[in-house]
Amino acid sequence: MNMIAEISNQQLKTENEVITKLEKAHSLKDYYITLDHANLDWLPEHVTKVEEMWRNGFPVSEIAQNVKRSDKDTFLLIYDRLELGEIEARKGGIFGNEYTS
């Protein structure tokens, strides 16, 4: 084996050892990923529809039906949009105008 090949093999072996150590140190089995099972991908037009319905006082359950998503996924989008300041908290909360008297 020539010298360049030997150096390359040694460097590759060292890199693989480092990668293995890093993978063991940061193994996903050691972490709990919150909401890993949730469907958190949204089309922009659905985000716009959710925001519009939220502003118009619709309950989360009705918004979810309109965009054909679960109440949970819709609530999580609304929570995200609230956190980002894209929509505002409202009287009636997730129940909307149904519970504002």
Is the same domain home to 51 and 73? Answer: yes
**Does 61 share its domain with 20?**
no
Is pTM beyond 0.75? Reply is: no
Is 37 a member of any domain? no
AA identity, residue 88: E
Number of domains in the chain: 2
CA 56 to chain centre: 25
Same domain, yes or no: 15 and 55: no
Full residue range of the structural domain in which residue 71 is found? 44-99
How do the pLDDT tens digits run along the chain, 101 residues long?
Answer: 576 767 677 777 787 787 777 777 766 566 777 887 888 899 999 999 999 999 999 999 999 999 999 999 999 999 999 999 999 999 989 888 876 66
Q: What is the CATH number of the domain that holds 60?
A: 1.10.10
CB 88 within 8 Å of CB 78: no
> Is residue 38, in this structure, part of any structural domain at all?
no
As a whole number of angstroms, the longest Cα–Cα distance in the chain is 85
Please give the distance of CA 82 from its chain centroid, rounded to a whole number.
15
| Token code pair at residue 48 | 């716009």
